[in-house]
Amino acid sequence: MHQLLIAGRYRLVDLVGTGGMGRVWRARDELLHRDVAVKEVVPPVWLGEAERDDLRRRTLREARTAARLSHPNVVRIYDVVHDRDSPWIVMEYVESRSLQQILAVDGPLSPARTARIGLAVLAALRAAHTAGVLHRDVKPHNVLVATDGRVVLTDFGLATFTGGDAAMTGPGMILGSPHFVAPERARDGISDPRTDLWSLGATLYAAVEGQPPYARDSAMATLSALATDPPDPMRRAGPLRPVLTGLLQRDPWRRLTAVEAEPLLRRAATATPEPTRRAAPDPTRPPAPGPTRRAAPDPAGPAAERAAPARSGPRARRGQRVAVGVAAAATALLAAVGTGLAMAARDRSEREPSGTGAGVGPTRPAAAFACVAAPPAAASPVPSVPPPPGARFRLVPGWTWYTDPTGFQIAAPIAWLHWTEDAVTCFREPGGTRVLSVEASVARADPVAWWRAEERRLTGDGALPGYRRVDISPMDIFDGGAVWECAWLNPAGERVHTARLLANTSADRAYTVSWLTKEFDWQVNATYFPMIRQSFTPAL
């Protein structure tokens, strides 16, 4: 066959792949005498001419932006050229099979192998997001497994950068495979790092289950299910269940972040496989639960674990940022920010239930909650300060970085009144009822048992009139934790909603990050928690 020469340099040799956005060729770089992969960007035929021209321009500009990435799990982009009225992206050629090809030939992968692939792709996405680049088309076709075992993420043809026009698509216009498109992107055309993480979850789901989480017969049926239905039930995921559930949250604010997903993937990658049964499994029987872990929910249960950032050693975890991991049933409570009703340890005579082995400290009387009363005259407004060195993200307008004299750090609202009550740091909205607090206490061996005991004590003392429990759930954060969400009537007779996040940060120390709002305003304030949970750094 006649071999085309692109841009006077790249001679096309073999067609190695096709997709909705173009064709990929193995080519020979005649100048450097090496094999490369060349992608011809072909806009979908249903786009209008103006949109096709716009897509070509954006592809050239954004591929050049993606070319600045240098990471072992990212296919390197060497060049972007324009030839024969089409953009061409010149990339590193990797002798490999795509994850999609592996699934088609070999069938579903084991949870451990899927987790290892997930760690590599997650590392690639973190490098891209740090550089301000979004991929926007993560799917099995774009994950390559090389003959030497290297895993790389390729095809940044839909990539864009966060500093530019990230919304290359809009409502009703979807580029990429519907099976791997995040709900908010399908609905509103929105792209940000969280949409890439949803696509990662869908890709890993497909790898371990053998089909995507919304396997339907048509694109329209897939998008309809994506908008309203939960993902299809998992039957093979085992130890991957928590991370898949966390990544596939429809609400992007409840979705696992990259730092939360990594330790869950590492755990799944090293989990002990279930023993092989002699008899063939009964297809009507649900899969056996995975290995039991301390303070972690049953993988077969309705809740999904969440996790803290990876750490280099036991002591290093004290200084890391809190990346709160929460059960899927508890993520709604954590979508607000902990609770303003910080609680101290009980008196030695009021220890946890036998068998918990928790540490015990003093407590204030049941009716005297921290930060609920009017601020003292000495309370001062929170000043706006520059972000600290090494800050990984920007806070939303109206919030700033607060560093406490005791050493912990957290995002706090600017101009909220700030004061301390014993071991509690209080932040209260001037003229309002919203309260954020952080309290240092002793570690609890069983945080869930601790919250349940506190619930019994406080409701028995009448300290929480009109009490309604929403949930008490374990969370895998630092050295273990749990969250307690409930509603009750404050002294003014207003119904308030509170969540209390207890996090053990070492063998002998814990913090309670708390958030309190009016019940009516609870959902409105839900979007602040992902920022706060990642900003909190406990004192060493």
Catalytic residues: 137
Say if CB 119 and CB 262 are below 8 A apart: yes
Tokens of 15: 């067609």
Say if CB 429 and CB 416 are below 8 A apart: yes
How far is 504 from 511, CA to CA, in rounded Å?
Answer: 7
Q: For residue 403, count other CB atoms closer than 10 A to its CB.
A: 14
Say if CB 427 and CB 448 are below 8 A apart: no
Distance in Å from the first CA to the final CA of the chain: 67
Say if CB 500 and CB 338 are below 8 A apart: yes
| Strand boundaries in 150-217, DSSP class E | 151-153, 160-161
Tokens of 366: 């049941």
Tokens of 50: 């103006």
Tokens of 214: 């919304």
Residue 63, classed as helix, strand or coil, is helix
How far is 198 from 125, CA to CA, in rounded Å?
Answer: 12
Please state the length of the chain. Answer: 540
| Strand boundaries in 455-509, DSSP class E | 468-475, 481-489, 495-504
Output phi, psi for 114, to 5 deg: -60, -40
